[in-house]
Structure 1
Amino acid sequence: MIGERYILVEHEARSAASHAHYFACVRDGWSNLPEDLAGRFPTPDHLRKWALIRAGYRDEVTFVASSKAEAIRIAAFLRPVEDTAVVRVKDSVVVRWTAKSQSMRAMGRDGFQRSKDAVLSVIDELIGTAPGTLSREAGRAA
């Protein structure tokens, strides 16, 4: 509007190099999964989304059912809707977590960097490597 004042916030785009490095790290982590976990994550993207959820970068929807049996039925219905979602049942409550989007539109540079660090930490722990190992090793290859 004419005569109105607006506060502008500088938006710094994240680098293509950081983006590529992140996905190389996730791919390396996925390829180094222990045999007993390999079937749980059919693709690197399944692993990435699970790690996002585990690190707290998730959206949550809660359904309250009239009984535990109904909650189990709701959970069974929800699980196939999005194969990367985590669905939990406790008593008559169903909780569904989905990974937050890491798209450039959804996350700026700082948010992406925080989520990247958190995800790689979760994957390092999952595959039994010291914190920061994936980031250092993929950094040499990327």
Structure 2
Amino acid sequence: MAPLNAGWARRADAAYVVGETYNLVCHEERSSKSHRYFFANVNELWHSLPEHLSAEFPTPEHLRKRALIRTGYRDQRSIVCASKAEALRVAAFIQPIDAYAEISVSGPVVVHLTAQSQDLKSMDRQRFRESADAVIAWISDLVGVKPAEARRAAA
């Protein structure tokens, strides 16, 4: 292997030692086609939501991010406050920061959940596929259809 240009050569010199052995890992990018298909599927399911859920999920993005949080593809932060009253104030303060976040208060503890990003840099092909399957299954259950039916409708 050889660096593509002088810039990459400098980076390689800084990171590696001549004569040492390094293991390489194959990183496979996911296709933009699968990315677009997933988002089309979420959009199609969003249009199938029962009327009583339209206020809770005003956009497909709200639905997708809630599904990511509920299926475990989330980041969690807990803030321990001095009292429940303070926790309620902290929760009210952080709520407008992210319209998609879930915030709960349990006694003096505020729990802040945010959806993990599904962008190309944040999730490799395998993790994206797993998260996409989980999200489609969760939304399909919410809508009352089987995931396979939802995929056919989006195709």
TM-score by length of 2: 0.86
For 2:102 and 2:85, how far apart are their aligned partners in 1?
19
Structure 2 residue aligned with 1:93:
109
What residue ranges of structure 1 are gaps of 5+ in the alignment? none
Higher Rg: 2
Q: How far is the alpha carbon of 1:127 from its aligned partner? A: 0.9
Once the two structures are superposed, residues 90-130 of structure 1 have per-residue CA deviations (whole angstroms, 9 ceiling, x without a partner) of: 11111000000111111111000000000001100111112
Q: Secondary structure at the match of 1:9?
A: coil
Runs ≥4 in structure 1, deviation > 4 angstroms?
Answer: none
Percent sequence identity is 49
Q: How far is the alpha carbon of 1:133 from its aligned partner? A: 2.2
RCO higher in 1 or 2 (8 Å CA, sep ≥ 6)? Answer: 1
- The answer to whether residue 77 in structure 2 is matched with residue 74 in structure 1 is no
What residue ranges of structure 2 are gaps of 5+ in the alignment? 1-16
Task: State how 1:20-59 maps to structure 2 within 5 Å.
Answer: 20-59=36-75
* Contact map agreement 1:120 1:132 (CA 8 A) in 2: no
- The answer to whether residue 140 in structure 2 is matched with residue 124 in structure 1 is yes
Structure 1 residue aligned with 2:129:
113
- The answer to whether residue 134 in structure 2 is matched with residue 83 in structure 1 is no
- Kindly report the root-mean-square deviation, in angstroms, between the aligned alpha carbons of the 2 structures: 1.0
For 2:102 and 2:39, how far apart are their aligned partners in 1?
21
- The answer to whether residue 35 in structure 2 is matched with residue 19 in structure 1 is yes
For 2:153 and 2:46, how far apart are their aligned partners in 1?
14
- The answer to whether residue 120 in structure 2 is matched with residue 104 in structure 1 is yes
Q: How many residues align?
A: 139
